[in-house]
Structures are given as C-alpha cells and as structure tokens.
Structure 1
Amino acid sequence: MTRPSWAPEGIDLDRPSASRVYDYFVGGMHNFEIDRELAQMIEKFTPNVAETMRANRDLLRRAVRLLTDAGIDQFLDLGSGIPTVGNVHEVAQARNPQARVVYVDIDPVAVAHSQAILDGNPLTAVIHADVAQADSILSSPDVRRLLDFERPIAVLLLGVLHFVPDESDPAAAVAKLLDACVPGSYVAITHATADGQPQEVLDAQKLSGRTSTEITLRGRDEIAAYFGDWTLLEPGLVQLPLWRPEDPADIGENPERSGAYGGLAKKD
C-alpha cells in the first residue's frame, strides 16, 4: 500500500482505526480497506450506525454555520477525530477565513492524521488530550495561543461524552470547560442514548465493553444536565435529525433511530 501524505510514518496501516472507521461512515476519504471492512462488520450489529454518525456530522455543520453567522470566530472541538470532509475549520473558515479552531482527541492515530491534514493552516491546531482532563486542555500551549477565553468561544462536544465513563466524572470536566468561557459563548453537545432504542442497539452497546472505546448510554435528563444553567436554543435537546433540519425531508419517519440527542446552548 502506498502511504498517502496524510498518514505519517509510525501509523500502522495494517490495523483498523476507530477514527478512520468514523471517517468512512461520514463519507470521508481518510480511511483504508481494513477500516471499511471493520465498518461493515459493525453495521451487521447496528444497521443504523452510519445514519447516526452522518446525523451527528450534519448537526455539527449546521451548528458551526449558525455560530459563525452569530459572530463566533473561535472553536474548541473536543473528541474531534480526523478533521475530514466538512469539519469545523472548513465550515467556519468558509464563512470567516480568520476563524480559529483547536481540535482535541485522545486517539493518537487521529491526532497524527490530523496534524498532517492541518499542516499549512496556521489558524488550526490539534492536541492529544483526554476530554475528562479539562485542566490539561485549558492549559495547552496551542489552546492558549489560538483561543482567547476573554472573548466568546464555542465549545463543541459532539459524540464524545458517551465515551467518558461515569467514574471519570464527565459532568465535572464539562463544568470546568464551561466555567472558563465568558458570557456570549456557546456549547454544543450530542450524546448517544438508550431512550427509544431497539434491543439490538442495546446489545451492541454491551459488546463495546470489550473494546477500548466502551460507550455509556445516558438518558435525556442526564445529558441535559451537562448544559448547566446555560440557555438552550430552540428546539432544545432533541433527537439529532430534529435539531434545525435544513429540509423537513431530512427528519425521516423515525428520528429516534438516530440514537442520540443534540442541543446548543448559550451562556447569558
């Protein structure tokens, strides 16, 4: 296999990567045959998984466009994965070329790929960190260099908190991140849920416990608590396809099958 420029030396191309599998599901180009084979195996257990991931990515794009149009020009994207097609910096910088974005991910494979992809874009950076370790994120030199916490900022926690187990206290980490933001800032959160899910999805969730990326499904009230006292924008915390769809046809007949809630809130 010829190693592409976005796959730096040291990355094993013979083993699948969770980040590249996600990239495949959302229509990206940064994945290999071994990643696609694993994705197809996952789909056998949870046939709606690709739909859920695309719904999450679509919500991200809608939220970033809204935020950029509202004057937000700096973004902290936690659990970002590989910044592939239609990611935060592409959407934001298309509207405001001076928008700044810091990506954060715990997966070293995702970070290495991201650094190669973002090379040459001085208004972006990627750091290797755990979303549960808010202090290390906030004190990162790249975060401090690119993001000014004296001005409004958008904190993006899309599809990441369900990978943080209860014992790591994700609520405390989110609270610390939000406390660092000034009024006028925003937070976007999406989170997988068991609410309304068929048994096969719950069974697949149990299987995730055998991997390094176990998923913790949480209910709507528990997810809503992450927003603290920030004001949720309409339509509130809803199933992903119901969050400001661009076309009513995008909702589909069973939006609950997305298996996740999403919302955007502002600090007053």
Structure 2
Amino acid sequence: MSTVPSPIDPNRPSAARIYDALLGGTHNFAADRAVASRAAEILPEIPLIARANRDFLHRVVRYATARGIRQFLDLGSGIPTERNVHEVARAEAPDTRVVYVDTDPTAVLYARHMLDDDEQTAIVHGDLLDPATVLATPAVRGLLDPSRPVAVLLIAVLHFVPDGPELDSALHAYRAAAAPGSLLAISHATACGSPELTARIAELYGRSGTPLVLRDADRVAEFFDGWELVEPGLVLGPLWRPDGDPVSDAERFLTLAGVASR
C-alpha cells in the first residue's frame, strides 16, 4: 500500500469528489460536478439522500460514544467535510481517536492538510480490501488500541465495491481484529422502490469509471455476519434511531443502514 497518494486527475470523476459535490463541498472538479449534476437530473432527491446519509453517520458516532467507544476506524472515509467523525465524536468525548482510510488522493491530501496538527486523528492512503496492510500501518497501530472496542465505519462505500471473496474476506478480517464491544456501521445504496431510476444512476456512475453496485437488504445483511445487529436492525437510513420523528417517506432515500455489535 502506497503512503503517497497517486497524482490527482481532474478530468476523471471520483466517487469521493462526486459525493463532496452532492454535499455542497468545494473539493471537487468540473468532471465530478458534471456527474453530480446529471445524477440530480435523473434523481432530484440525490443531494438530499447524501445529506441524510451524512446525518446517519453523525447519529452512529454519537451512539458509539454513548456506549463508551473512544476510537473509530472510518474505511472509505471520503473527503473530510464539515462535522466529520472526529468533530462529532469529540463534542461528546474529547479523548476520541480516529483513523480515516481512503484510496482517493484528493481525500487523502485534503485530510492530511486539515489534520496536520491533530495528534488524535490520522489519514491512511489505503484500500479497505487490504485489511492486513491497513491494520498494520503506523497510524492505525499508533492511534487505535486493538484490545479496546472500536467503531468500524463503512458509510456509503460498499456499494462501490464488487461482490467476491476479496470483499467477504476483508469484512471477516476487520471483525476478527475488533475487540469485544466493538461496533460495525454500514450504509448502502439500494434500489428500494425505484429500480428504474437507480439503474440509470448506476449506469451513470459506471460510465464515469466508478461502478455502483446496488444490493438488496438480504445481501447487505450478510455484511454483518458474525456481528449482532442492534435495534432497530437493518432499516432504511432515515429510520435508524432518528433524532426526531421518523420520516414518512423513507423509501425515497434509497439507503439501507444498520449498526451491529461484536
């Protein structure tokens, strides 16, 4: 695994930068904004879906800190935008440590700049499908105590990873490395009640060089093998422990979400 990000190609869209554009961020290029704009033409709710997914991440972090977890491994973390994991966690527990992991050079370079003086947080340029290397990096070994519970975050990333033994093996490795009391949080795109629109979105991402794999609830539930889902289980994203009244049209958010304990 390289410790130096590869050169950034502004003409090639990336999932991390498209997501940043959908969230209204500024760390993206014209090619990314073009994909985000076209996705919003196909599915006008997609910026709202991205924001709802971000809100799920915040709820997960608060839930984990309330359970006493003080370390997070954010796999496929993307570009650190406002109110990222370490900011939300430290509002509840200032001693929290966070390691972000991503393959996108933009995400890594910006995170390194943002976290430069933060001794409790680090960014790793790595592939979540290579858990042995990720877990052996100095950042992970130096910041995360393997004997204590950790929250492993896979937020809006597994739908960019194809099915196969490599994915299943990686998930098993992270579970094996997690101490009792750890948490696994996953959010994942699904077709739900809009198979035609989501198929068009998947085709758009595929043409941009970022294949999007839509999975149903049964397949996403398999990612939690060896873990025990906490209430309310694997549900549509806005229905996972909402801060206020649950939305009445959760299906339109096209996201499955769940958290499980070790």
Q: Same fold (TM over 0.5)?
A: yes
1:107 equivalent to 2:104? Answer yes
Equivalent residue number for residue 253 of structure 2: 258
- Measured in 2, the distance between the counterparts of 1:234 and 1:154 equals 16
How far off its partner does 1:224 sit?
A: 0.6
Equivalent residue number for residue 6 of structure 1: none
Mind listing any 5+ residue stretches in structure 2 that lack a counterpart?
1-6
Matches within 5 A, 1:70-219: 70-167=67-164, 169-219=166-216
Matches within 5 A, 1:218-257: 218-248=215-245, 251-257=246-252
1:52 equivalent to 2:49? Answer yes
- Measured in 2, the distance between the counterparts of 1:74 and 1:134 equals 17
Deviations 1:108-138 (A, max 9, x none): 1111111111111111111111111111111
- Measured in 1, the distance between the counterparts of 2:234 and 2:21 equals 27
Secondary structure at the counterpart of residue 127 of structure 2: coil
Secondary structure at the counterpart of residue 213 of structure 2: coil
Deviations 1:159-214 (A, max 9, x none): 11111111463222111101101111111011111232241221221232223320
Secondary structure at the counterpart of residue 135 of structure 1: helix
* Aligned partner letter, 2:95: Q
- Taking structure 1 as the reference length, what is the TM-score of the superposition? 0.88
- Measured in 1, the distance between the counterparts of 2:68 and 2:201 equals 41
Q: Which one is further off, 169-178 or 202-211?
A: 202-211
Bigger relative CO (Cα 8 Å, ≥ 6 apart): 2
Identity %: 48
2:39–2:204: 8 Å Cα contact kept in structure 1? no
How far off its partner does 1:30 sit?
A: 3.8
How far off its partner does 1:230 sit?
A: 1.5
1:152–1:185: 8 Å Cα contact kept in structure 2? yes
Pairs aligned (count): 257
